[in-house]
C-alpha cells in the first residue's frame, strides 16, 4: 500500500470562520409581494421557512427588487445594499 493511502488525511479548519445563509433579492421580493410586507427581519425569514433561528443571513444582489423594503440582516453585498437604498428602503446590519 503506498504511503499516501496509509497516512490519514487531515488539514486546517479555521475556528473563526463564519457561515452565512445566502438570500437573494428576488427571494425578498417574492416574500414581500406574497405576504404584503414592507419590513423584512430575521424573525420574518425564520417564520416563513427561509432560515433557522441560528443562521446568519447575508443578502445578495441576485434578481431584481421592485418595491421599497426595510431589510435587516447580518451582512449585505454591495449590489444588494445599493439596490435596496435606490428604491428608498433601509439597510440595517445586525
- CATH fold, domain 18-93, is Ribosomal Protein L15; Chain: K; domain 2 (3.100.10)
Q: Give 16-64 pLDDT, tens digit per residue.
A: 999 999 999 999 999 999 999 999 999 999 999 999 999 999 999 999 9
pLDDT of 12 higher than 90? no
Residue spans per domain, the chain: 18-93
Can you tell me the distance from the alpha carbon of 85 to that of 29, in angstroms, rounded to the nearest whole number?
14
Does this model's pTM top 0.85? My answer is: no
Amino acid at each position: 500500500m503506498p504511503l499516501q493511502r496509509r497516512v490519514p488525511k487531515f488539514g486546517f479548519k479555521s475556528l473563526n470562520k463564519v457561515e452565512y445563509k445566502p438570500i437573494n433579492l428576488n427571494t425578498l421580493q417574492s416574500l414581500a409581494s406574497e405576504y404584503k410586507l414592507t419590513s423584512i427581519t430575521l424573525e420574518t425569514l425564520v417564520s416563513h421557512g427561509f432560515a433557522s433561528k441560528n443562521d446568519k443571513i447575508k443578502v445578495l444582489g441576485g434578481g431584481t427588487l421592485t418595491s421599497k423594503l426595510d431589510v435587516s440582516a447580518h451582512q449585505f453585498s454591495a449590489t444588494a445594499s445599493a439596490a435596496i437604498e435606490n428604491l428608498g428602503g433601509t439597510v440595517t446590519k445586525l
